[in-house]
């Protein structure tokens, strides 16, 4: 589904990704871990199409198609979803209205009719129940005054609404207490299917206890330096990243 080949990327002439390779197939869950500043969030933003980053080499293929030239919204229309580490506050636009706009703009781009209001409401009800989201919450301004946990839950709610092919969760666990973490992880697990894929970016192993990855990768200094299965995450939790740095520098 997603194939990243020898990706080089920089922002303001500073190279952040230095030849990154990653292959994600439908039905898989991948975890990307790594120390601060390794380029994890950059990778997430680049795949989602943030314009500030310049891809200087390599390719990102989605279902075999190079998406480098596509705008963020076009990638979204093709099924890419990024759950933000820091969701943006948008006063005056309610969660419901934002979702209606997002879904109908996406449908328009896909040549579909707007979703009938009745279906939209039904879907909103279903998905908000999945994430234990109070109905009142949906008529509040998007992310404005939301707690850290509410923001993250709202991100996964949006993911549930958009039903992406490829979901990238950028530090979705940060700022969550254990109950919220469980709700969020449970939501992600329910959305998982053989047709979609999830990339979980995280510092910590604890989210991976709930969203169990098929593969774990270590991103360090702009490259994936080590890949393994879920046991690798445990090892990282226990030993930290220094041994990996030593392994590389040796």
**Which residues contribute to the site for another protein (CB under 8 A)?**
45, 48-52, 71-73, 75-77, 80-82, 84, 86-88, 90-94, 97-98, 100-103, 105-106, 109, 141, 158, 162
Parallel, antiparallel or unpaired: strands 2-11 and 54-62? antiparallel
Q: How far apart are CA 150 and CA 165, in angstroms?
A: 24
Between 62 and 244, CB nearer to another protein: 62
In terms of CB distance, is 48 or 60 closer to another protein?
A: 48
Least CB distance from residue 161 to another protein, whole Å?
9
* Choice between 161 and 236, CB closer to another protein: 161
Please state the closest distance from residue 145 (CB atom) to another protein, in A.
Answer: 14
Nearest to 202 by CA among 183, 186, 185: 185
DSSP H helices, the chain, are: 40-48, 72-77, 95-109, 117-130, 135-138, 148-162, 178-191, 206-210, 230-239, 242-249
CB of 182 to another protein, least distance (A): 25
* Complex with another protein: residue 97 or 227, whichever CB lies closer: 97
138: helix, strand or coil: helix
In Å, how far from its chain's centre is CA 161?
A: 14
């Amino acid at each position: 589904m997603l194939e990243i080949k020898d990706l080089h990327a920089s922002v303001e002439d500073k190279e952040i990704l230095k030849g990154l390779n990653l292959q994600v197939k439908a039905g898989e869950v991948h975890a990307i871990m790594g120390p601060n500043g390794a380029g994890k969030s950059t990778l997430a933003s680049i795949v989602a199409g943030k314009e500030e980053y310049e891809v200087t080499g390599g390719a990102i293929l989605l279902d075999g198609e190079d998406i480098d030239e596509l705008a963020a919204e076009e990638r979204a229309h093709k099924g890419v979803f990024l759950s933000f580490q820091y969701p943006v506050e948008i006063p005056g636009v309610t969660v419901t209205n934002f979702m209606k706009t997002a879904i109908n703009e996406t449908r328009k781009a896909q040549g579909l009719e707007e979703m009938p209001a009745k279906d939209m409401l039904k879907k909103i009800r279903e998905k908000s129940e999945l994430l234990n989201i109070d109905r009142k919450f949906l008529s509040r301004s998007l992310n404005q005054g939301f707690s850290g946990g509410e923001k993250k839950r709202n991100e996964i709610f949006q993911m549930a609404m958009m039903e992406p092919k490829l979901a990238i969760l950028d530090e979705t666990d940060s700022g969550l207490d254990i109950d919220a973490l469980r709700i969020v992880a449970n939501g992600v697990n329910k959305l998982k299917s053989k047709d979609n894929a999830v990339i979980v970016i995280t510092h910590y192993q604890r989210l991976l206890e709930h969203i169990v990855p098929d593969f774990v990768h270590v991103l360090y200094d702009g490259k994936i330096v080590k890949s393994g299965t879920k046991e690798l995450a445990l090892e990282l939790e226990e030993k930290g990243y220094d041994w990996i740095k030593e392994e590389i520098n040796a």
